[in-house]
């Protein structure tokens, strides 16, 4: 057993493979950033959990431009374990969302599991989550860190507030949006593109391509961090609010932005016209002076703002058409690696 394993004990229980697990291929996607001390125990845990797995599986490790020895340790581990441990090395630090998208793009499995590489997620939960995903015909099983091993003030309380706010706005009711341990059906998640810092809203994005009835949550194990420090926390509290606005817009108006901007524009323009109409009648029937009244300027600017919003809606509709027709842009740049044939690089049941 390695020194790292002694400091971070492996789970004493043996992995439980669900009965009647349908045939499939599994990809485990793990983004890493400056986690050199976690590489060896991470892969040790994954192989312990998936060693008796009855179907082919692979591990896709995405190095998000680490500045320490993470890549060197990954390459050594890949040589030790075999070609089913695949490395995607990004040219620089593109942040967690882009790293997650890079891993999803590289994954070849019918089922894709994502998890953090800091040893706080436990791979022993993977078979149970995959079993529920396939046996209950779901598109996503999200992990729920019910007994979370993090600080109360800086992590737990902000997370609870954010989870409730996200659930209320998006309509996808989960207890833990921030847990990276999730099991996806590949046919669903590969229809979602992640940009910016939208990794924490993956269930909401997935709800744009599938029904929320096919999204469930599963209680998972959570460990305290043993090595390094958090790089991808929920400390970006204010960005969460901005991201929520974008999620709300995309969930309801992604394919019809003209309705969003046009609706606001028509409302503002109508209010401005009412004000100007009132002042016009006042001038016409009473002869009152309206040239210096603040209400006149207010009505005038409301009409201008309404026209601008309607115009923005037209431009947004044009951009939407371009976006959906191209679909080629990516949020990351990865180094070139040798391509694998579809039947190569899988870990098979019973392999030593």
> What is the three-class DSSP state of 152?
helix
Helices (H), 70-156: 70-81, 96-106, 126-135
| Residue 151 pLDDT greater than 60, yes or no | no
| pLDDT at 196 (0 to 100) | 72
CATH architecture of 3-253: Alpha-Beta Complex (3.90)
- Taking only the tens place, the pLDDT of each residue in 93-110 is 998 889 999 999 999 999
pTM: 0.77
**Which two structure tokens, joined as six digits, stand for 291?**
């040239």
How many Cα atoms occupy the beta-carbon half-sphere of 67 within 13 Å?
3
| pLDDT at 231 (0 to 100) | 55
| pLDDT at 307 (0 to 100) | 95
Average pLDDT over residues 23-38: 96
| Strand positions, DSSP E, the chain | 26-32, 57-63, 85-89, 111-114, 140-144, 182-185, 215-219
Q: 214: which DSSP letter? A: G
| Residue 220 pLDDT greater than 90, yes or no | yes
Left if phi > 0, otherwise alpha if psi is -120 to 50, otherwise beta: which for 76?
A: alpha
| pLDDT at 327 (0 to 100) | 61
Starting at the edge strand found earlier in the chain, the sheet holding 26-32 runs: 85-89, 57-63, 26-32, 111-114, 182-185, 140-144, 215-219
Give the distance, in angstroms, between the CA of residue 118 and the centroid of all CA atoms in the same chain: 17
User: Using an 8 Å Cβ cutoff, are 37 and 227 in contact?
Assistant: yes
| pLDDT at 7 (0 to 100) | 43
> What is the three-class DSSP state of 14?
coil
In order of 17, 147, 225, the CA distances from 150 in angstroms are 29, 9, 8
Of 4-8, 117-121, 304-308, where does mean pLDDT reach its minimum? Answer: 4-8
- Per-residue pLDDT band for 6 (boundaries 50, 70, 90) equals very low
Shortest CA distance to 162 belongs to which of 143, 187, 150, 179?
A: 179
Shortest CA distance to 104 belongs to which of 334, 351, 267?
A: 334
Shortest CA distance to 63 belongs to which of 329, 330, 345, 335?
A: 335
| pLDDT at 212 (0 to 100) | 86
User: Using an 8 Å Cβ cutoff, are 159 and 55 in contact?
Assistant: no
Q: 22: which DSSP letter? A: P
- Per-residue pLDDT band for 1 (boundaries 50, 70, 90) equals very low
pLDDT greater at residue 227 or residue 139: 139
């Amino acid at each position: 057993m390695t020194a790292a394993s002694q400091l971070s004990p492996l789970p004493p229980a043996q992995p439980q493979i669900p009965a009647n697990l349908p045939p499939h291929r599994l990809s485990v996607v793990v983004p890493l950033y400056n986690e050199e001390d976690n590489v060896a125990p991470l892969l040790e845990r994954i192989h312990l959990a998936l060693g008796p797995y009855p179907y082919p599986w692979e591990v896709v490790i995405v190095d998000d431009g680490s500045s320490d020895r993470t890549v060197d340790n990954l390459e050594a581990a890949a040589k030790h374990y075999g070609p089913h441990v695949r490395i995607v090395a990004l040219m620089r630090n593109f942040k967690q969302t882009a790293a997650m998208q890079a891993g999803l793009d590289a994954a070849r499995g019918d089922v894709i599991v994502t998890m953090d590489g800091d040893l706080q997620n436990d791979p022993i939960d993977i078979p149970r989550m995959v079993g529920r995903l396939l046996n209950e015909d779901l598109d996503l099983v999200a992990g729920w860190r019910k007994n979370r091993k993090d600080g109360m003030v800086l992590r737990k309380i902000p997370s609870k507030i954010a989870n409730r706010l996200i659930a209320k706005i998006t309509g996808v009711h989960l207890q833990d949006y921030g847990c990276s341990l999730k099991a996806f059906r590949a046919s669903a998640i590969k229809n979602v593109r992640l940009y910016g810092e939208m990794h924490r809203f993956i269930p909401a994005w997935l709800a744009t391509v599938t029904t929320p009835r096919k999204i469930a949550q599963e209680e998972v194990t959570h460990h305290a961090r043993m090595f390094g420090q958090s790089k991808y926390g929920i400390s970006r509290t204010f960005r969460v609010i901005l991201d929520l606005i974008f999620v709300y817009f995309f969930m309801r108006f992604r394919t019809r932005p003209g309705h969003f901007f046009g609706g606001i524009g028509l409302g503002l323009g109508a209010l401005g016209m009412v004000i100007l109409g009132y002042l016009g009648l006042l001038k016409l029937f009473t002869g009152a002076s309206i040239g210096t009244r603040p209400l006149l300027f207010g009505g005038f600017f409301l009409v201008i703002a309404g026209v601008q919003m309607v115009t923005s809606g037209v431009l947004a509709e044009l951009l939407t058409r371009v976006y959906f027709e191209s679909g080629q842009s990516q949020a990351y740049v990865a180094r070139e690696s040798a391509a694998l044939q579809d039947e190569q690089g899988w870990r098979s049941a019973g392999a030593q």
